[in-house]
Amino acid sequence: MSFTPPKTNRRLYVDADCNFSVRDTSSPLLVGDNELVIENIYSGVNPADTKHATILGIRATTLGYDFCGRVLSSPPGSSFKQGDVVAGLTPSGLGRAEKYGTHQDYLICPEDMAFKVPGNLPEAHAASLPVVALVAADAMFNFFKFPLPGSNDSFVHQQPILIWGGSSSAGLCAVQFARASGCRNIIVTASPARHDMLKSLGATHVFDYKSPTVVDDILLTVKALDQGPIGHAFDAVCAVEPTPSAALVSQCVKDPAAILVGITILKDERFKLPFSLAKDDWTIRVNGHANPITIPARPDDYWKSWSALQWAVANYGQGFELPHVEVLEGSAEHVLREVIQVGNLSRGFGKIVARHPLS
């Protein structure tokens, strides 16, 4: 079946030549058997919105992955009904259907990638949460294999873990997941202005990532803790300047058996790649590579991450939060400029969401 928007569907778009623009369309959206039709309320902004186009070749599509919106229609037998306020994320990969982009006023979402928004979770925050929480959960619970929050309340992990870029959105989620899982020595890097906030969320030792002695300071703290070397490290930013953060993480990790995770594809093959869309195979074309590559699905891992996301949703405001969420107002052109800034990692602290309909 298809859905024809009742009015012009304004969207943020990237064409095949990687040009970003605002487009209007009245074209029907094709609805699959197990898909929801969503009238958007907020769309969440992530670096991936533009980076997947510029770096991974996912083009000729509508931008965006996170959303919070109202169900206009659902398939027969669905647990969702018309009028439900839901949040979630949408599929990706080469050839991504335009209907899945969340930076548009009407979109389509597979029903198993959406959840009902409870009263404790503000709608703008709901649109900020799925991608970053699932990425952090993939690192914490699938690669690091820490127990899910509440699944093993007797678990205590004393060996220090390192989260580089703790005030990034994925870093904030990782800190809180680590605390809820039972980690007791959570070492984090961030700018000094974020140190107190990170300690309130569960970090036990926080360091200025710009300090010329940051690696030595972390190693001295690890030695003083006397709980063994860092066994798990998550680079939640993968910054490249002035010194690649992955290189600094590597200098902090002296255990050859340590598990390293980085939020983007890195040349250092010791770093595993967490991502939010592990449910299905993910085909991309990395810059500099002639042929597409397919990252195999990890459905069991995905559903474990989804369980962690649902824990975060249920406990939002009392055990888990995104401390700063900004709502973007103004024209669609203004929103697009902000989305591009986020992709360039030049927007600063906090999550941003775009209010819909886009003007």
Asked if 106 and 142 sit in the same domain, the reply is no
Are 273 and 235 spatial neighbours (Cβ–Cβ below 8 Å)?
no
Asked if 143 and 213 sit in the same domain, the reply is yes
Confidence class for position 208, pLDDT limits 50, 70, 90: very high
Nearest CA-CA partner of 249 in 228, 271, 264: 271
Asked if 113 and 148 sit in the same domain, the reply is no
Asked if 156 and 117 sit in the same domain, the reply is no
Q: What is the pLDDT of residues 131-174, one digit of tens each?
A: 999 999 999 999 999 999 999 989 999 999 999 999 999 999 99
> What is the pLDDT, as a whole number, of residue 295?
93
> What is the pLDDT, as a whole number, of residue 347?
80
Asked if 64 and 39 sit in the same domain, the reply is yes
Asked if 72 and 171 sit in the same domain, the reply is no
> What is the pLDDT, as a whole number, of residue 349?
86
Confidence class for position 301, pLDDT limits 50, 70, 90: very high
Mean pLDDT computed over 229-245: 93
Asked if 97 and 69 sit in the same domain, the reply is yes
Asked if 148 and 258 sit in the same domain, the reply is yes
Asked if 74 and 147 sit in the same domain, the reply is no
Domain of residue 84: give its range. Answer: 2-129+322-355
- What average pLDDT does the chain have? 96
Q: Answer yes or no: is 292 within a domain.
A: no
Q: Answer yes or no: is 287 within a domain.
A: no
DSSP string, 4-27: --SS-EEEEEE-TT--EEEEEE-P
Lowest mean pLDDT among 168-177, 207-216, 283-292, 316-325: 283-292
Helices (H), the chain: 48-54, 123-126, 130-137, 169-181, 195-201, 214-225, 245-252, 299-314, 332-343
pLDDT at 288 over 80: no
pLDDT at 297 over 90: yes
Residues 6+ apart with CB under 8 A from 108: 3, 29, 30, 31, 32, 35, 36, 37, 38, 90, 97, 99, 100
Q: Long-range contacts of range 206-210, CB-CB < 8 Å, 24 or more positions apart?
A: 206/166, 209/164, 209/165, 209/245, 209/248
Mean pLDDT computed over 323-352: 92
Confidence class for position 290, pLDDT limits 50, 70, 90: confident
Asked if 125 and 172 sit in the same domain, the reply is no
> What is the pLDDT, as a whole number, of residue 93?
96
pLDDT at 241 over 90: no
Q: How many CB atoms lie within 10 A of CB 154?
A: 6
Q: What CATH number is associated with residue 20?
A: 3.90.180.10
Q: Answer yes or no: is 293 within a domain.
A: no
Q: What CATH number is associated with residue 142?
A: 3.40.50.720
Asked if 160 and 191 sit in the same domain, the reply is yes
> What is the pLDDT, as a whole number, of residue 336?
98
Confidence class for position 62, pLDDT limits 50, 70, 90: very high
> What is the pLDDT, as a whole number, of residue 126?
98
Whole-model pTM: value is 0.96
pLDDT at 330 over 90: no
